[in-house]
């Protein structure tokens, strides 16, 4: 999976048209803005803050071993309504991975807790 994802990201960086292939990524659902202020702004110790921000419609992301992917698409509608139960937890998210303005994005169409 990492090899396929690395290949996709290399193609995106080279200016190739984005793929419509679906990928499943594993990581923690985080508040992108808070995480940008420091790596300590994640996990159980940061869950209350992340939930508060998520409920107000803050940009959420998926923090993986490969970096942070900003979550886009229908799961972010209505102030992240479909993501609230997953904030600060490790999940498996499936969607289309792209890159825009130097940011990695995942348009999520399915998400489950990683058990």
Give the E-state strand segments of the chain in sequence order: 22-31, 60-64, 67-72, 90-100, 103-113
For the cut 90, the answer to whether the pLDDT of residue 40 exceeds it is: no
* Residue ranges making up the domain that contains 22: 2-113
Q: What is the CATH classification number for the domain harbouring 88?
A: 2.40.50
**Is residue 25 helix, strand or coil?**
strand
pLDDT of amino acid 3: 47
What is the average pLDDT value for the chain, to the nearest integer? 82
Q: Based on the structure, what is the number of domains in the chain?
A: 1
Asked if 29 and 64 touch (Cβ cutoff 8 Å), the reply is no
Q: Who contacts 65 (Cβ-Cβ below 8 Å, separation ≥6)?
A: 27
Q: How many residues does the chain have?
A: 115
For the cut 80, the answer to whether the pLDDT of residue 57 exceeds it is: yes
Model's pTM, two decimal places? 0.78
């Amino acid at each position: 999976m990492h090899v396929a994802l690395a290949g996709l990201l290399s193609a995106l960086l080279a200016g190739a048209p984005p793929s419509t292939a679906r990928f499943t990524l594993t990581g923690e659902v985080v508040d992108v803005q808070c995480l940008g202020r420091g790596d300590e702004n994640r996990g159980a110790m940061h869950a209350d803050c992340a939930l508060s921000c998520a409920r107000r419609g803050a940009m959420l992301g998926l923090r993986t071993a490969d970096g942070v992917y900003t979550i886009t698409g229908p799961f972010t509608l209505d102030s992240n309504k479909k993501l609230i139960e997953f904030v600060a937890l490790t999940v498996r998210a499936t969607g289309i991975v792209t890159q825009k303005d130097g940011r990695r994005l995942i348009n999520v169409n399915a998400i489950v807790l990683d058990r």
